[in-house]
């Protein structure tokens, strides 16, 4: 793929619509920072989004739902469209949320939006994507879909939707979307392989790995105060604590090491539906080597990652999780700390390719304990070298500049045609 400088020259005459139901000030991975990256490559970007209400389902203070509003965020043109706000456990209300934005974005793209060279769809890839390809019937504007969740598989794995009829129609909709969009961006080789199995041509799919938040940690004189200075070896899990993470096995590993490695402390930082239950179980097990920390602002997370001795990733063993890459993988590599990877498949392949940590079998507390023993025995110098290899791998393969440059080069292959659309070859970044 081209460098950022080369891409900037090619993108200077291109106008794109970025369609995503989530956008700043809501927490989202490819938000305003991503758009500024595209603009730095020379693109003129209009963001088409909803009114901020995630994750609580209530519209943020300072906003009021209207049919359409326009604003500028740090110089970027943002158009907000009416939609039904809901992110609770009600399947019907969640469907109404996504469907309402699908309708209003279709109407806007078809009748109100300025002519553009391309529509880049981010979230949700299914419903927003269907709106974009429907509008394409009238505007003939190429559509790229960025898939972060493999629908309908993720609906079943998350437990959000188990109705067979709904899953059947979701699968039909996904197949329709994959056939009618012009290109698909995925975050892992496994995602691409699964789409190819389902009949999507390989040359219609490009792998672009996600990147980490690259904001440097706040200046400080040492580890965060929440870390006990008497700890000799810190194992940190940072992020959501839910059923998918299956963190009981970490408590079981801590029980195995409590007396054998008294200087080894396990930290859980973040939130989630399982956090209180895990904390209660740790107390019942008498795990004096386990600590629970609250969620901290994003700009403070890096300080915790940098101050840990090893960083832990774990998901239960499911086919979908073996083809995904948890976002904390990139964050841990960027932090330059050794990684304990309890996820098989693509995420494990990244850590092994980087020589940045140890892979253990998901759900196996004995293997996790043995992996910790091994890292503990390596000594600080070797662990630091392992972390440096991870950071170097991140900079070369996974960084924001690499990802934005790859997507910029992909977009530049699409030039709007009045009669026919270009077919472009796939690639891996």
- 116-129 mean pLDDT: 95
pLDDT at 221 over 90: no
Give the chain's domains with CATH numbers.
4-211+399-428 (3.40.50.2000), 233-397 (3.40.50.2000)
- 117-136 mean pLDDT: 96
HSE-CB for 43 with a 13 A CA cutoff: 32
What's residue 155's pLDDT? 58
Spell out the SS3 assignment of 162-196: CCHHHHHHHHHHHHHHHHHCCEEEECCHHHHHHHH
State pLDDT tens for residues 291-310.
999 988 877 888 999 999 99
Distance between CA atoms of 192 and 205, rounded to whole angstroms? 7
In contact, 358 and 372? CB cutoff 8 Å: no
Q: In the structure, what pLDDT confidence band is assigned to residue 268 with cuts at 50, 70 and 90?
A: very high
What's residue 156's pLDDT? 54
What's residue 191's pLDDT? 96
User: Could you give phi then psi for residue 30, rounded to 5 degrees?
Assistant: -95, 75
155-159, 274-278, 400-404: range with lowest mean pLDDT:
155-159
Q: How far is CA 149 from CA 56, 110, 125, 187, 296, in A?
A: 20, 26, 8, 9, 25
Q: In the structure, what pLDDT confidence band is assigned to residue 128 with cuts at 50, 70 and 90?
A: very high
Q: In the structure, what pLDDT confidence band is assigned to residue 4 with cuts at 50, 70 and 90?
A: very low
Looking at the DSSP assignment, which residues form a beta bridge with residue 16? 45, 118
State pLDDT tens for residues 375-403.
999 989 999 999 999 999 999 999 999 99
What's residue 344's pLDDT? 94
What's residue 338's pLDDT? 98
Q: Rounded to 5 degrees, what angle do the CA atoms 167, 157, 235 make?
A: 165
What's residue 162's pLDDT? 62
- C-alpha closest to that of 19 among 125, 147, 121: 121
């Amino acid at each position: 793929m081209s460098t950022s400088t080369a891409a900037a020259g090619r993108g200077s005459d291109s106008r794109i619509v970025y369609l995503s139901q989530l956008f700043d000030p809501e927490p989202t991975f490819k938000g305003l920072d991503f758009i500024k990256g595209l603009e730095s490559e020379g693109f003129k970007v209009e963001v088409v989004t909803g009114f901020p209400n995630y994750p609580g389902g209530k519209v943020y203070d300072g906003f009021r739902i209207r049919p359409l509003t326009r604003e500028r965020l740090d110089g970027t043109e943002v158009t907000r469209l009416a939609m039904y706000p809901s992110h609770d456990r009600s399947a019907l209300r969640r469907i109404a949320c996504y469907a309402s934005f699908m309708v209003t974005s279709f109407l806007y793209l078809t009748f109100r939006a300025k002519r553009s060279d391309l529509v880049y769809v981010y979230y949700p890839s299914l419903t927003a994507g269907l709106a974009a390809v429907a509008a394409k019937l009238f505007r003939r504007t190429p559509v790229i879909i960025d898939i972060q969740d493999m629908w309908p598989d993720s609906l079943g794995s998350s437990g959000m939707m188990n109705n067979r009829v709904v899953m059947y129609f979701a699968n039909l909709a996904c197949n329709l979307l994959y056939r009618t969009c012009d290109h698909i961006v995925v975050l892992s080789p496994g995602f691409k392989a699964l789409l190819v199995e389902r009949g999507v041509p390989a040359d219609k799919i490009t792998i672009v790995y996600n990147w980490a938040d690259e904001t440097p940690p706040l200046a400080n004189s040492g580890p965060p105060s929440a870390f006990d200075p008497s700890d000799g070896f810190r194992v940190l899990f940072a992020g959501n604590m839910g059923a998918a993470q299956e963190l009981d096995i970490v408590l079981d590993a801590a029980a195995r090491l409590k007396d054998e490695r008294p200087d080894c402390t396990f930290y859980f930082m973040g939130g989630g539906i399982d956090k209180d239950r895990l904390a209660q179980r740790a107390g019942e097990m008498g795990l004096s080597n386990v600590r629970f920390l609250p969620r901290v602002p994003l700009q403070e997370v890096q300080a915790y990652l940098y101050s840990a001795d090893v960083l832990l990733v774990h998901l239960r063993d499911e086919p979908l999780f073996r083809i995904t890459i948890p976002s904390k993988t990139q964050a841990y590599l960027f932090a330059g700390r050794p990684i304990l990877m309890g996820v098989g498949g693509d995420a494990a392949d990244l850590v092994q390719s980087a020589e940045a940590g140890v892979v253990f079998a998901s759900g196996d507390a004995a293997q996790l304990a043995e992996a910790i023993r091994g890292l503990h025995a390596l000594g600080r110098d070797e662990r630091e070298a392992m972390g440096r290899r991870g950071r170097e791998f991140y900079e070369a393969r996974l960084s924001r500049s690499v990802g934005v440059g790859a997507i910029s080069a992909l977009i530049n292959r699409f030039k709007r045609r009045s009669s026919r659309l270009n077919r472009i070859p796939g690639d891996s970044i």
